[in-house]
Structure 1
Amino acid sequence: MTDTSPADPVAEAFQAERHRLRAVAYRLLGSHADAEDVVQEAWLRLSRQDTATIQNLAGWLTTVVGRISLDVLRSRRTRPEAPYDDHLPELVVTLDDGPAPEDDAMLADSVGLALLVVLDSLGPSERLAFVLHDLFAVPFSEIGQILGKSTDAAKMLASRARRKVQVTERPAGVAQEQREVVQAFLAAARLGDFEGLLRFLDPEVRLTVDTPAGPVVTLGATQVAAGAKLSAGAATQGRAAIVNGRPGVMSWREDGTPLALLAFTVVDGRITDIQAVIDPAELALIDLPNPA
């Protein structure tokens, strides 16, 4: 917790910005814990700063949070041995039992978090430029200063990132179509229909399975379709779910403990990415719904 005194005007000004700063850091890092650490570090730096030299406190704090977050993002890229949950966005899971996703208020929150899945594929500079400008309206001139690049270079980075995230902007009805693709894929898996599986897989589909021994990645439609038979039981016997705004499946053991969580990314009618979590330790960290 930040040690601030209500009588301290600097502390009061920081507290007024705290919620926004946490939101900026979370969008940049995809982790509430990391975001809180970044905001705390920003407070420590502010407490050591001569505030008389700061003309725009909100802008100064945004710059500091941006620079600290950029360091964290770059550190993740240089530490491939980092734990799986250190670099993946936190998963938000809801059972898909009721209304269409676009009508479900709880799902609306997870659709916003779905953007974090795409942001995680961006380079640190791209992610910072896009998040700060497109989500928080920070001028490119300030973004360039954080990155140590020109204003035009910052614009180019944001533009490149914007093209990569456009697939998350889904018109009404697309969510339902994506669910139907996933259900058809699972039906083919249940029937052992190899050709049927291939019809719903992008040729360059990526399957990531989070196991107790670490992530296992499979690339390519043929390989993923072959592997789908191995996990068909858990996938087809589970219940439909929404995972960070994406169609998914949640299954449990007979004693009610989580067995597996799958999330699918569907683009233009084909599955381009499958994320599967079967590691009990990882499942225990996720706020999962009950099977009842």
Structure 2
Amino acid sequence: MTTAPSGLVSEAFEAQRDRLRAVAYRVLGSHADAEDAVQEAWLRLARQDEATIGNLAGWLTTVVGRICLDLLRSRTAHPEAAYGQQSADLVVTPADDPAPDEQAVRADAVGLALLVVLDSLTPGERLAFVLHDMFAVPFADIGRILGKSTDATKMIASRARRKVRGADRPAGPGREHRQVVDAFRAAAVDGDFEALLRVLDPDVKLTVDTPAGAVVTLGATKVAAGARMFSGEAARHRPVLLDGAPGHLTWRPDGTPLSAIAFTVAEGRITAIHIVTDPPKLATLQLSAPGPA
């Protein structure tokens, strides 16, 4: 039977909530998933005998870590599930307007870039890197979450650290990124298959977030073959930054939103395209449609 934790434990949990949410977000890359992980930790705390918890902060970190690890492993087994979550936290900034706080926008872009790099790590590597390098959790505690020895956990974290340091993490979207995106759009409108292949990374990943779920396409050839979906949107679109990445919004002739498209660019090529067509998510974007073409 589940009982509510005592008042003192409840207060202690609330004092840890922001830190736990930050840990979960860095591990999972989704605010919604992070909230769910923290809520699940609260439910597990309610089922736990308080007398068996010596260090509540450490216990909660371990529980949240295990919840996040399970979710990361589930994403690895079912990659389409992960992409369905990413659009929930879209932050839209007009690409042609001065940002109210340019430094903050750059910081957000760097944060997004780091999350993109973290996505390249295995679940164990990502958890070890985030917990140790970002939140100073001891390797012994991380090892208990991973089911590894302390020495093995150190090796996992070291491997993750090398991958993060070796990755090309841009400081912001940059004019050159926008030029790559513009070249892609021009090639799509012209139906220039070879030009599309020149701007697409061979392992590019296209994710279309629809009301029925996420559809994932892998590889430059397949993405280029389906790029004509972009050609009809040229007349009514607006360049924007989506979570700090170059992209654009498109509208139907009646002014209702059609799609939000974000591009990830690295080393002069597009490595990922994320298209949101789900109307409820598009309705949360607070930008007016462009004027008549």
Quickly say closer, same or farther: Cα 1:152–1:42, change in 2 above 3 A: same
Measure, in 1, the Cα distance between the counterparts of 2:268 and 2:176: 8
User: SS at 2:255's partner residue?
Assistant: coil
TM-score under structure 1 length normalisation? 0.81
Quickly say closer, same or farther: Cα 1:88–1:120, change in 2 above 3 A: farther
Per the alignment, residue 43 of structure 2 pairs with 44
Counterpart contact for 2:87–2:276, Cα < 8 Å:
no
Give the total of aligned pairs.
286
Deviation at 1:162, TM superposition (A): 3.7
Measure, in 1, the Cα distance between the counterparts of 2:48 and 2:259: 49
User: SS at 2:89's partner residue?
Assistant: coil
Per the alignment, residue 57 of structure 1 pairs with 56
Measure, in 1, the Cα distance between the counterparts of 2:28 and 2:195: 38
Measure, in 1, the Cα distance between the counterparts of 2:216 and 2:80: 15
Percent of paired sites with the same residue: 66
Structure 2 spans left out of the alignment, 5+ residues = none
Post-superposition CA distance 1:2-58 (Å, at most 9, x none): x777xx332222221111111112222333333223223323333444545544332
Counterpart contact for 1:207–1:217, Cα < 8 Å:
yes
Query: Which of residues 269, 288, 291 in structure 1 aligns to 2:288?
Result: 291
Q: Does 1:20 align with 2:19?
A: yes
Per the alignment, residue 265 of structure 1 pairs with 264
Per the alignment, residue 30 of structure 1 pairs with 29
Deviation at 1:265, TM superposition (A): 1.3
User: SS at 2:226's partner residue?
Assistant: helix
Counterpart contact for 1:94–1:289, Cα < 8 Å:
no
1:241-252 counterparts in 2 under 5 A? 241-252=240-251
Counterpart contact for 1:54–1:60, Cα < 8 Å:
yes
TM-score under structure 2 length normalisation? 0.80
Counterpart contact for 2:5–2:45, Cα < 8 Å:
no
Deviation at 1:283, TM superposition (A): 3.4
Deviation at 1:95, TM superposition (A): 2.1
1:95-134 counterparts in 2 under 5 A? 95-99=94-98, 103=102, 105-106=104-105, 108-109=107-108, 111-134=110-133
Matched residue type, 1:128: L
Measure, in 2, the Cα distance between the counterparts of 1:223 and 1:75: 26
Matched residue type, 1:71: D
Measure, in 2, the Cα distance between the counterparts of 1:93 and 1:203: 28
Measure, in 1, the Cα distance between the counterparts of 2:12 and 2:25: 20
User: SS at 1:231's partner residue?
Assistant: helix
Per the alignment, residue 140 of structure 2 pairs with 141
Measure, in 1, the Cα distance between the counterparts of 2:266 and 2:100: 17
Measure, in 2, the Cα distance between the counterparts of 1:236 and 1:152: 58
Measure, in 2, the Cα distance between the counterparts of 1:139 and 1:88: 33
Instruction: Tell me which moved more, 68-77 or 13-22.
Output: 68-77
Per the alignment, residue 84 of structure 2 pairs with 85
Quickly say closer, same or farther: Cα 1:114–1:43, change in 2 above 3 A: same
Matched residue type, 1:170: P
Structure 1 spans left out of the alignment, 5+ residues = none
Post-superposition CA distance 1:230-261 (Å, at most 9, x none): 31232574111112221111112233322011
Instruction: Tell me which moved more, 122-131 or 17-26.
Output: 122-131
Per the alignment, residue 71 of structure 1 pairs with 70
Deviation at 1:137, TM superposition (A): 1.9
Deviation at 1:268, TM superposition (A): 0.8
Deviation at 1:79, TM superposition (A): 5.2
User: SS at 1:256's partner residue?
Assistant: coil
Measure, in 1, the Cα distance between the counterparts of 2:162 and 2:238: 33
Q: CA RMSD in A?
A: 3.3
User: SS at 1:290's partner residue?
Assistant: coil
User: SS at 2:246's partner residue?
Assistant: strand
Quickly say closer, same or farther: Cα 1:161–1:102, change in 2 above 3 A: farther
Counterpart contact for 2:114–2:169, Cα < 8 Å:
no
Instruction: Tell me which moved more, 21-30 or 226-235.
Output: 226-235
